[in-house]
Structure 1
Amino acid sequence: MTTSHETSRQTPDFHLHINPFGRLTYSDATGIEHPDVMPVRAYPLSDPRHWVSLCDREGRELRCIEDLATLPPDVRAILENELAQREFVPRILRVIQVSSYLEPAEWEVETDCGPTRFVLKTEEDVRRLGPHSALILDSHGVRYLVPDTRDLTPYGRRAVDRYL
């Protein structure tokens, strides 16, 4: 006997695999392969299980997946692994020091992945996500999440709030 969850899972008319170079490859219903595909979540923070686009090298959408739960486990595992690698976003737990309030500024922080330093190129690389959260983009394109500025020390709050 199958459950309703199992019957909602369909065999997709596409295939995903990792090529010999370690890159995600998408094969459409006609069998045409598209190497170097990037999965992109439409709502990565608010609804990460739905609306994932597979985009080609130029950023054009090849396919949109409405719900990851409808995919077979092997396809879903490949896609979730690729998304996890692409969406590596350390959480800033503590701001230890900011070299200057003029950009570029070197930040020394403690994250959930350990201590690190990064360079903030411009104040536009700090974006508010909600009333008390922010996303910081460093000079190498690594994103850092400040989940709640109220959890930072007064020094850390002032450092982040200065850019918001």
Structure 2
Amino acid sequence: MSPPAWQLQRNAFGRLVLTDEAGQAHVGVVPVRAFPIGAPDEGLSVLGSDGHELVWVDRLSALPAGPRQLLEEELAQREFTPVIQRIEAVSTFSTPSTWKVTTDRGPTSFTLRSEDDIRRLPGHALLILGSHGVTFAVRDRLALDANSRRLLDRFL
């Protein structure tokens, strides 16, 4: 594996700095996944502060450890998507409804405004948008317990 023609580091203020092939430093770059749910390791764009792409990474796992770790840290801060492990209760089977769930980050509740806020993804995965803008993920709805599947099926 050859090292990339660009370099990545954090400055004293904690912002990512990408130095391109020409030696120009771009402060405050932002990594963005092309397919964050379906293929999180494939296709990553590093955008400059003006929103233009500076670098395209085909596969994150193919990068050397240093830049890969910096990109993964930055992505973890930006991509807050709790994974629903169990649906405890739903206030009503019509919308809006309040859902009480257990996620990989602990118990919480959110309001589902519309059934349109549940998005189906390949492989039995779902994205559920709460009323406060937080997106919750269900990796495999068929892997949920029977009670959770029963509650979820009322909305699908």
TM tier relative to shorter chain: 0.7 to 0.9
What amino acid maps onto 2:6 in structure 1?
A: F
The corresponding residue for 1:5 is none
Q: 1:63 aligns with which of 27, 46, 55?
A: 55
TM-score, normalised with respect to structure 2: 0.80
Q: How far, CA to CA, are the matches of 1:161 and 1:38 in structure 2?
A: 37
Q: 2:31 aligns with which of 29, 39, 45?
A: 39
Alpha-carbon deviation of 1:22?
2.8
Q: How far, CA to CA, are the matches of 1:69 and 1:153 in structure 2?
A: 33
- Unpaired runs of at least 5, structure 1: 1-7
The corresponding residue for 2:67 is 75
What amino acid maps onto 1:30 in structure 2?
A: A
- Unpaired runs of at least 5, structure 2: none
Q: How far, CA to CA, are the matches of 1:12 and 1:132 in structure 2?
A: 36
Matched residue of 1:124: which SS? helix
Q: How far, CA to CA, are the matches of 2:132 and 2:33 in structure 1?
A: 21
What amino acid maps onto 1:16 in structure 2?
A: L
Change (3 A) 1:137 1:19: farther
Matched residue of 1:82: which SS? helix
Q: How far, CA to CA, are the matches of 2:10 and 2:22 in structure 1?
A: 19
Q: How far, CA to CA, are the matches of 2:113 and 2:16 in structure 1?
A: 31
TM-score, normalised with respect to structure 1: 0.76
Q: Deviations over 1:128-161 (max 9, x none)?
A: 0135321112233322111222333454324433
Q: Root-mean-square deviation (CA), in Å? A: 2.5
**Pairing 1:89–2:81 present:** yes
**Pairing 1:102–2:98 present:** no
- Number of corresponding residues: 155
Q: How far, CA to CA, are the matches of 2:10 and 2:99 in structure 1?
A: 36
What amino acid maps onto 1:135 in structure 2?
A: L
Identity over aligned pairs, percent = 45
Alpha-carbon deviation of 1:54?
0.9
Change (3 A) 1:140 1:35: farther
Q: How far, CA to CA, are the matches of 2:46 and 2:139 in structure 1?
A: 27
Alpha-carbon deviation of 1:75?
1.1
The corresponding residue for 2:149 is 157
What amino acid maps onto 2:73 in structure 1?
A: N
Q: Deviations over 1:64-84 (max 9, x none)?
A: 111234422211111122223
